[in-house]
Amino acid sequence: MPLMLENGMNGAMQVDQLDVDDLFGDGVGGLSLHTARPPTKQLRQRIDELRTRGCCQGVAWSRSGAIASVSPDGKTLEARFLRSHPDNGDWGLSEPTKVDLISINPSSPIIHLAWASTASPELAVIDATGRVAILTYSITLNRPFATRKWDHDPSDDLHAIVGSYWLPLAPQSKQYWVSHGPAVKDGNQYRYESSFVRAGGPWHPNPSKSALLCVTTNGHLKMFWAQNNNKIEETSLELESVNSSDDLITHAALHSYLWIALATTNKQIRVVKVGIHWGLPQSQSDTKPPPGSQALNPTLHEKHVAISTWLPSGPSTTPVDSAATQLTHLEILPSVMDPNGQGAPLVILAVRTYVPTPNTPYQETQSIIDKWEVPSDQPQSLHPAFEQLGSRRNSTGTAPAPTCRLKKCDPVVINKAVIGLHTIQYGNVVCLAFSDGSVEYRDRYTLQEVYNEMNLDRVMTLGQVGFTLQDDSPCLQMAFSPTNCSVVKVQDDGKVKWSRLHHPLGDIGNSNQDAPYAATLAALTVAASTATFNNINYDDILAVARPFANKKRFTFDWINEIVRMLKVPVDYSEDTHHDSLVRNSSLQMCLSILNHLGYKGMFQPRTFGGKFAMLALNARNVVILITIASNTPVNIREKLSPLDEHEVVDALAGCAKWSLDLLAWLTDSLFALLDDPQFLALLTPQRFSEMSAYLQSRSDVSLHLLLCSSTRGFLSAVCRRILHLEILSNRAIEFYERRAAMQNATDPSSQAKGLHVVLYKAYQKMQRVTSSSLIKVQEFDRLLTVLNNDIRTAYQTSLASLASKNPPGAGAAAQKAVDAQIKTAQMHCELNMLLASSPPPAFLGVLLKFFNTDLRAYRGLADPSKLFFADYDLLEVDDDRRTLAARKAKSRFIDVFKRVELVGPPPTSRAGGGGGSGAAGSSNSNSASGGKEAEEAKTAQWRRCVRCSAVMEDVFGSRPGFTFVLAQQRKCSCGGHWGLLPRGSLIG
């Protein structure tokens, strides 16, 4: 009898007579469940590789922004970097540059890359048999220098490396790191919190150096370290005695305090603690780097702490557990303070990934994360029988030493294949990368997922405010940027692809009144502040922020938040020495952000803020170069004298020419404002607030450069450096002419030999530059001094009302509070002017005096017509369409080091250049071709800033003074790193 259901409308309904389409609509009969994408052949091979060896990371991203990768066949090392495209300023991944500094053994491919955290990035390159090469990227992001080659390393499978670790650099305090964030919503704005994290050594005795530690499959620990003469040496230690294949180590993880976790072939986890003694007196090791004359002689010693098995067992074991019997990842997390202020124990994480095959019953990919805690100081208890035995003999033996044991925690199962694992936020958060291109963040204490939900009230990452990775395509390997704001992926076809965070949830708004806008600013501020505080490249943060640069106030609001969080000094109205101003790296960062987000391409007009920041950064750079060349440190003054080398003097002459052009352009721009009735009409109380908008409409930054105390300080420092160079060149020429006259009088035939002709001509060039200025530098500096004094008086007068609120009998604490209020108000005014806002109303009197009295008097000392018709191409500040088109047509560029014009692009080398590959007795045409290529090879290549697209010749110093000065140009004036351009190309 068929099953009957009651139908309220038509009575009884026979289920067996219904078609499924009548219930669910047409076409449901063909419905099939969604099945996961089956693992590819390449993914299976990658998982097998991860199971076989613990060191097999084929792509790595340095703190400076250099990206190293290994070709799919393991025979080629390539270098890449992020760069802002010179045509439009948009960010992208550069073309790969092949690195040919190491010889590759066809039977032993490159299998692992690891970056140190040193200022000059060091890259460890490891091959399949454990050979180690170390490359240093000290100048450009895509051309390294070899500091250690592996030619003399043994090629043996038992020496294969299964774990590596670079020692961290010691923080300045040698006790704590500062962890920035989160940003907590507090009313209408965010409050930025920070905390201290205890720093964990050991460190290299020289605070600027690191050391590489490697664990081999046969149980040895190798340490590669730099001697005081910079030579790389090696020290080793036997961690485990390997007597059979079951004892071989497959994976090793190392972390601070040199805790080492080892996984062996027989499914064991072993924990070892290693110490380093550098062979120095204790006082030297703790307080200062060793003197250069005292050689380091490090020794290693180990202590075995705990042992257990990682093989799954017990009633909770699943079929996948039984199938996943090989590790793919091993990570050790050092002990830290938990959120409650209690010490959290050492943690070991192991990942086992199950990838189904066609014939297995369980067809879903899974990753199992096993976790062990290593609680320390656990007292050992003796059996009562042993205690009685001791009491019978009246023994006074001591209690056994405390031990450590591995405490197994509940595993975490994820239905994806883990291809990468690392920690962020000083070990508090675990970051997982998956083969489907996705990323997860998990809490180290609970392994629960974090940052996966919107949270605008407590912001730590961009993911909490709606940002996701732009590309979610599958991959085999993934490397995170140092800021965790973008990744590079190695895809199935071996190609490297960059993916940054983006905001797919629509428009964020246009002001802090919009919650997504304010939260985005807070997240970017936490990320950028963390990066700059830790000397980490933040180019990908700029790439994330760039799509919002067209919002009217976004750039200014972001910099305002950074200044608040890092407490960046911006008020230099009372500073006359400029030292602290020039050394203010946080201010340089703010100007660099302003410069980049106002940059639209090499031959496109800049925004008002972009032009302002570009001139300020270049003025700062000129001051630094002239100061470095003129004030050699005392400890090396006997070894080098930069001003006695013509290359240095030539470069300083170019800096002087650029500086004088800047002062002349500023003077001409101020004279134009003096003759502008529309501008002068704004110098009234009723219209004073309109002044900034008017200047921005004209893209005229000259007045803001003078009113803002930081940029006014740069200009004053420039004036004093030019006056110094003028005196220096006059004295040098007088010295060499007097010397030549004396030699000519005693021995006329030795005149040509005795005179340093090249250096003499360089000083002549400098003298011509300084003596042919269109303005009087001393008078311009005096104009700045008068303006500075007037501004200081205006501040004191306008802020006197705050001081008057403090009664005469008030105590020191009250006076201190009032002083703090005055400084805060003054800083607020300075920050507003730095960010292109109108000056405070108190400046109206200052500007009336400046334009009606001081500037008119200064005008009488100059020739306005010459200033008006002068050529300011060296400044690259004229941004009308006609000028930009002419500059583009001529392919003109300015060398930011020598401050001279370059015409590009440089010559192109022929493919396969060198001419040495042809057979002996080649034709004359081949010889001519080879000669041309050899001539082109002598032509200097160009470096290009990856952030602002500025260029300079790729020059090297053959003399110590020039090398010393050139070392100060390892970064662009904007703080961006250099990328070496291929010959014949203007894009990296």
Q: For 383-414, give the DSSP string.
A: -HHHHHHHHHTT--PPPPPPB---EE---EEE
- Residue of 788, 762, 802 lying closest to 846 (CA atoms): 788
**pLDDT tens by residue, 976-986:** 999 999 987 88
How do the domains of the chain map onto residue ranges? Answer: 881-913+926-980
Residue 927 pLDDT exceeds 50: no
Rounded to whole angstroms, the Cα distance separating 898 from 653 reads 8
Say which residue, 39 or 721, is predicted with more confidence.
721
Quote the pLDDT of residue 18: 44
- Binned at pLDDT 50, 70 and 90, residue 11 comes out as very low
Q: With 80 as the cut, is the pLDDT of residue 324 above it?
A: no
Dist. CA 70–CA 49, nearest whole Å: 14
Residue 950: name the closest of 911, 915, 988 by CA.
988
Q: What one-character-per-residue DSSP string does 584-614 give?
A: -HHHHHHHHHHHHHT---TTSPPPHHHHHHH
Mean pLDDT value of segment 316-331 = 75
Q: Is the CB of residue 92 less than 8 Å from the CB of residue 498?
A: yes
> Residue 224 and residue 232: Cα distance in Å, rounded?
6
Tokens, residue 95: 């073309």
In sequence order, the β-bridge partners of residue 82 are 93
pLDDT at 809: 55
Closest to 114 measured CA to CA, from 248, 48, 211: 211
Range with the poorest average pLDDT among 30-44, 90-104, 338-352, 950-964: 30-44
Which residue stretches of 687-708 are H helix? Answer: 691-698, 702-707
What's the rounded Cα separation, in Å, for the pair 329 and 412? 14
pLDDT at 13 over 70: no
Tell me which amino acid residue 516 is.
Answer: P
- Count of alpha carbons within 13 angstroms of residue 955, beta-carbon side: 21
Structure tokens at 804: 């008057």
**Is the pLDDT reported for residue 314 higher than 80?**
no
Q: How confident is the model at residue 653 (pLDDT cuts 50, 70, 90)?
A: very high
**What local confidence, expressed as pLDDT, does residue 906 receive?**
54
The pLDDT assigned to 652 comes to 96
For 236-250, 282-296, 936-950, which range has the lowest pLDDT when averaged over its residues? 282-296
d(CA 339, CA 731): 65
DSSP conformation letters of 650-689: HHHHHHHHHHHHHHHHHHHHHHHHHT-HHHHTT-STTTGG
Question: Does the structure show a pLDDT above 50 at 464?
Answer: yes
Residue 299 has what pLDDT?
A: 95
pLDDT above 70: residue 851: yes
**408-441 pLDDT tens trace:** 999 999 999 999 999 999 999 999 999 999 999 9
Q: What is the pLDDT of residue 911?
A: 35
920 three-class SS: coil
* pLDDT at site 32: 40
Task: Indicate if the pLDDT at residue 7 is higher than 60.
Answer: no
**Closest residue by Cα to residue 794 from 849, 847, 842, 840:** 842
Give the global pTM: 0.89
Q: pLDDT at position 283, please?
A: 59
Q: How confident is the model at residue 891 (pLDDT cuts 50, 70, 90)?
A: confident
Q: Is the pLDDT of residue 475 over 50?
A: yes
Q: What is the mean pLDDT of residues 832-836?
A: 93
Q: Is the pLDDT of residue 111 over 80?
A: yes
Residue environment code for 224-255, b if the CB has 16+ CB neighbours within 10 A, otherwise e: bbbebeeebbebebebbebeeeebbbbbbbbb
Do 59 and 477 contact (CB within 8 A), yes or no?
yes
Q: Return the pLDDT at 648.
A: 93
Q: For strand 220-226 and strand 232-238, is the pairing parallel, antiparallel, or unpaired?
A: antiparallel
Average confidence score pLDDT of the chain: 86
Give the mean model confidence (pLDDT) for residues 493-513: 94
Over 60: is that where the pLDDT of 449 sits?
yes
Q: Which range (37-51, 120-134, 317-331, 606-620) has the least confidence? A: 317-331
Residue 937 pLDDT grade (very low, low, confident, very high; cuts 50, 70, 90) = low
Give the mean model confidence (pLDDT) for residues 250-275: 94
Residue 112 near residue 146 (C-beta atoms within 8 A): no
Q: Which residues have CB under 8 Å from 606's CB, separation 6+?
A: 598, 599, 600, 614, 699, 879
- The answer to whether 169 and 155 are in contact (CB under 8 A) is no
pLDDT tens, residue by residue, 572-601: 988 778 899 999 999 999 999 999 999 999
The pLDDT value recorded for residue 930 is: 52
Read off φ and ψ for residue 216, nearest 5 degrees. Answer: -95, 165
What digits encode the pLDDT tens for the residues 731-742? Answer: 989 888 888 788
pLDDT level of residue 14 (50, 70, 90 thresholds): very low
Give the pLDDT band (50/70/90) at residue 108: very high
What percentage of the chain carries pLDDT values higher than 70? 85
Residues 6+ apart with CB under 8 A from 324: 352, 353, 354, 366, 368
Cα–Cα distance measured from residue 200 to residue 168, given in angstroms and rounded to the nearest whole number: 8
Report the alpha-carbon distance of residue 617 to residue 658 in Å, rounded.
Answer: 13
**Environment class of 798 (CB within 10 Å of its CB; exposed 0-12, middle 13-18, buried 19+):** middle
> What mean pLDDT comes out for the span 952-959?
86
pLDDT per position as a tens digit, 191-212: 999 998 888 889 999 888 999 9
Confidence check: pLDDT of 907 > 60: no
Report cis status (omega within 30 of 0) of the bond before 2.
no
- What is the average per-residue pLDDT within 258-285? 88
